[in-house]
Amino acid sequence: MRARSPRIVAAAEAAIEDARPYLQPVVLSRELTVTGHDEDRVRVDGGELVCSPDVAARLASAHRLIVVGATVGQPVDDHAIAVFAADPMHALGVHGVGGAAVEDLAGQACRMLRCEAARGGADCSIACWPGRHGWPTLDAQAQIFALLAPGDEAPGVMELTTARLVRPPKSLSFVIGFGERPLTDDEVCDACGLAPVCAYRGC
């Protein structure tokens, strides 16, 4: 890439350095005891997760449900908007850095949860994200935020608006199950709706 498109590399590096001070990574999580399973839902002590047969099957052996929200904060988006008029391409680069940063943050949270499960002698499911097969994003976000209740312990860090938009924009939510018996041995990519056309699958 450096040899073929040095200008793109330089622009990406500039965006990374410019965006770095505006990143405010936070991970919120709540552990819930699973009280029952149905074909399309998981019942917990704080309510229930009405998901889909696909998601419910991956959580069928779980005895604990970890609900997670990850964000890199609002400032990185505010900064991208502020510089857009002067340099639209740089602003898009800053937006891209924010998106990549929250993906990495969520990945780190998943790895940490897997280690925590292993230390306790439990198995850990793959992360189940809003938008998975049969689990519409709008419904999933509402359920996850109802269980996570980020406003109770971290007001203002993450919220779901009345239009069911997540704020800050560079935020992700998902659930993971802990169980005594092996859960699933598949990967997140196996359940992604873009798997048939993804250019990065297997990389």
Over range 138-151, report the average pLDDT. 92
Over range 92-109, report the average pLDDT. 96
**Residue of 43 and 7 predicted with greater confidence:** 43
**Residue of 39 and 189 predicted with greater confidence:** 39
Over range 31-53, report the average pLDDT. 91
20-24, 89-93, 126-130, 180-184: lowest mean pLDDT where?
Answer: 180-184
DSSP letter at 178 equals E
List C-alpha distances in Å: 172 to 3, 14, 104, 125, 197: 34, 25, 11, 18, 23
Q: Exposed, middle or buried: residue 165 (CB in 10 Å: 0-12, 13-18, 19+)? A: exposed
Give me the chain's average pLDDT, please: 87
Q: How far apart are the first and last CA of the chain?
A: 17
> pTM of the full predicted structure?
0.85
Instruction: Say how far apart CA 128 and CA 132 lie, in whole Å.
Output: 7
pLDDT computed for residue 82 by the predictor = 97
**20's torsion region: left (phi>0), alpha (psi -120 to 50) or beta?**
alpha
Indicate the pLDDT class of residue 60, thresholds 50, 70 and 90.
confident
CB 66 within 8 A of CB 176: yes
pLDDT computed for residue 2 by the predictor = 55
Indicate the pLDDT class of residue 157, thresholds 50, 70 and 90.
very high
pLDDT computed for residue 164 by the predictor = 86
